[in-house]
Amino acid sequence: CGICGGDNTACRVISGVFKHSLTNLGYHKIVEIPEGATKINITEMSKSNNYLALRSRSGRAIINGNWAIDRPGRYEGGGTMFVYKRPNEISSTAGESFLADGPTNEILDVYMIHQQPNPGIHYEYIIPGPNTISSQVPLHRRPGEPFNGQLDVTETVNYEEEDLHQEASSHPRQPGMSQPARFPSQVPDNQVPVGQPPRRSREHNWKQIGTTECSATCGKGAQYPIFRCVHRNTHEEAADSSCDINSKPTPEEEPCNLFPCPAFWDLGEWSECSKSCGLGMQHRQVLCRQVYANRSLTVQLHRCQHLEKPERTSTCQLKICSEWQIRTEWTSCSVPCGVGQRTRDVKCVSNLGDVVNDEECNMKLRPNDIENCDMGPCAKSWFLTEWSDRCSAECGSGIRTRSVVCMTNHISSLPLEGCGHNRPTESTPCDNGPCLGKVEWFAGSWTQCSIECGSGSQQREVICIRKTENQFEMLNPHECAFLQRPPSQQTCYLKPCGAKWFSTEWSACSKSCEGGFRIREVRCLSDDMSPSTKCDPQLKPAEKESCNTQDCMPEIDENCKDNYYNCNVVVQARLCVYTYYKTACCVSCSRVANRQSGFLGRR
């Protein structure tokens, strides 16, 4: 509060934000600063093409008055010094501001020169009184009522004089800021111009004569002001060329018909019919919707209660279904007696009379086109084949045969329940004459199979004989050479042997004496000689064994002998490596050589 040692009870802070949406271009009053205010801060909340303005109640313009834009700097007014700031950086987003320490000695009015939507103006100052932070417009105050000398509505007055339509650009914006475009014919109601702007020689100016038709009859549309060139005194319209085309205001969009449109039922497309023929069902979506700001929104159903709700479901029929038709009567039974079958022709026919696929008719309702038929029990009798042409014996007594079977007789109408026990004979005797002097091969019985399992062989004796009346005579085989000789040997197979161990022959021994070894390969094979794993491991033959375990005996050479009595000294001195000593002491050196070779072999 500016009192040394005080307790902040001698003043109070007044602050607020001016956020009114403005439609008309020009000066609009934001707030008034009372006499005695200190720590004044008026700040635009973000950069815009609007300008802040300040004037005293005496009518003196302090900053940006009389349609002229001042440069940023220090300006004296109301008994204090105001610092006017306008950031000029292109990348800056900060808006304009007025700052002053105060106190003021008169009431000051803050205005905004409106050219585009208001981003919001924050104001704050301190006045003597209780230390409370209060809003400029308390909740209990009605709109239009003053509070601390403030008004929450903008005050604008229209002037028709030509000099209020002039552009003031004696102080252009800094680089990066756009110039104020045009000023409408609106100034504060208590504006007192410092000086008259220069008059123009033109007798015509631009005037708004109305607005375009609203783009929507409800739900928030848009319209634009219409400007015409008129005579400044008679207000009669003139050609656009009579006015300064550069000073023609730019029409800005204005909202209109903000009231919401009536709710309506939004009907979706019908779904496909649930059946391809006959009576089916189809569905659609029914929503209650309302249009606002060119957008169709889904709302609660009760908003459409004043309207009759359309049906969500409906019956449908794409076509009359095809039907089954019986085209023929039943045929005769397939058998003259017993149980048989009979058929008839059943077709699927469309409503146009055409025969179509069975799938187009209801298969559950399809009439039967085949059924069993019982023609009563059939009579039975014996059926016989002819006797065989060949006698079973080429000579002597034999038989001829025929087949006998009991079957139903579709031709006979004999009331027989069965064929009875009088079965006809199936064989009859025959005789091709005596068997005298005839030769033939005689085969004996087969011997037993050569092995108990797997593939083996068996034999039999085949001899040439001559058959007489009561006996047989064995002949030389060449007597029967003109006849085909029966086989005397054949393969036999009693049962599978399963897997067995097979081995190769032993290899040669690795040494001729003093213990060598020999090896063979052992495999488990099945009956078809393929490798198997089913052999008994305990019965597996050995794959390696010792051989030639006898000691090695040196060959006796009659010419090999010791020529000296002290050959043992030659051996001890290891002189046997020399040919002379090896020959002179042949026996001793040979014995040592055999002993060393045996030692190396054991290693």
pLDDT band at 367 (very low <50, low <70, confident <90, very high): very high
pLDDT of 73-127, one tens digit each?
Answer: 889 888 999 999 987 766 678 889 989 998 999 999 999 988 888 899 999 999 9
* CA separation for the pair 593, 603 (Å, rounded): 16
pLDDT band at 418 (very low <50, low <70, confident <90, very high): low
Higher pLDDT, 231 or 380: 231
pLDDT band at 507 (very low <50, low <70, confident <90, very high): confident
Specify whether the CB–CB gap between 275 and 322 falls below 8 A: no
pLDDT of 562-592, one tens digit each?
Answer: 888 889 888 888 888 888 988 899 988 988 8
Determine what percent of the chain is predicted with pLDDT higher than 70: 82
State the chain's mean pLDDT as an integer: 79
Q: DSSP 3-state assignment of 141? A: coil
pLDDT band at 496 (very low <50, low <70, confident <90, very high): confident
Specify whether the CB–CB gap between 521 and 547 falls below 8 A: no
* CA separation for the pair 58, 47 (Å, rounded): 30
Sequence-separated (6 or more) residues with CB below 8 Å from residue 436: 468, 469
Statement: residue 186 has pLDDT above 50: no
pLDDT band at 432 (very low <50, low <70, confident <90, very high): confident
List C-alpha distances in Å: 374 to 341, 343, 407, 496, 575: 8, 14, 18, 54, 123
Average pLDDT over residues 400-410: 76
Position 408 scores a pLDDT of 65
Work out the angle at residue 23's Cα, subtended by the Cα atoms of residues 217 and 259, and round it to the nearest 5 degrees.
25
Characterise 293 by phi-psi region: left (phi > 0), alpha (psi -120 to 50), beta (else): left
Strands 380-384 and 404-408: antiparallel
Position 89 scores a pLDDT of 60
- By 3-state DSSP, what share of the chain in percent is helix, strand and coil, each rounded to 5? 10, 35, 55
pLDDT band at 130 (very low <50, low <70, confident <90, very high): low
CB neighbours of residue 272 within 10 Å: 12
Least confident of 14-18, 170-174, 325-329, 557-561: 170-174
pLDDT of 237-288, one tens digit each?
Answer: 888 888 988 888 888 888 888 888 888 999 888 988 988 777 889 999 999 9
Average pLDDT over residues 402-421: 63
CB neighbours of residue 596 within 10 Å: 10
Sole residue written with tokens 């000593």: 581
Statement: residue 336 has pLDDT above 90: no
Average pLDDT over residues 491-509: 84
Residue 270 is encoded by which pair of tokens? 């019908």
Position 145 scores a pLDDT of 37
Sole residue written with tokens 């001559």: 466
Position 411 scores a pLDDT of 53
pLDDT of 509-520, one tens digit each?
Answer: 888 787 888 988
Statement: residue 169 has pLDDT above 70: no
Position 91 scores a pLDDT of 64
User: Distance of alpha carbon 283 from its chain centroid, rounded?
Assistant: 30
Phi, psi (5° rounding) for residue 361?
-110, 160
pLDDT band at 171 (very low <50, low <70, confident <90, very high): very low
Position 409 scores a pLDDT of 58
Ranges of beta strands (E only) in 454-548 are 455-459, 462-467, 472-475, 489-493, 500-503, 516-519, 522-525, 544-547
Average pLDDT over residues 475-503: 86
Specify whether the CB–CB gap between 545 and 516 falls below 8 A: no
Sequence-separated (6 or more) residues with CB below 8 Å from residue 308: none
User: Distance of alpha carbon 390 from its chain centroid, rounded?
Assistant: 81
Average pLDDT over residues 386-410: 78
Residue 591 is encoded by which pair of tokens? 């014995």
Residue type, 511: K
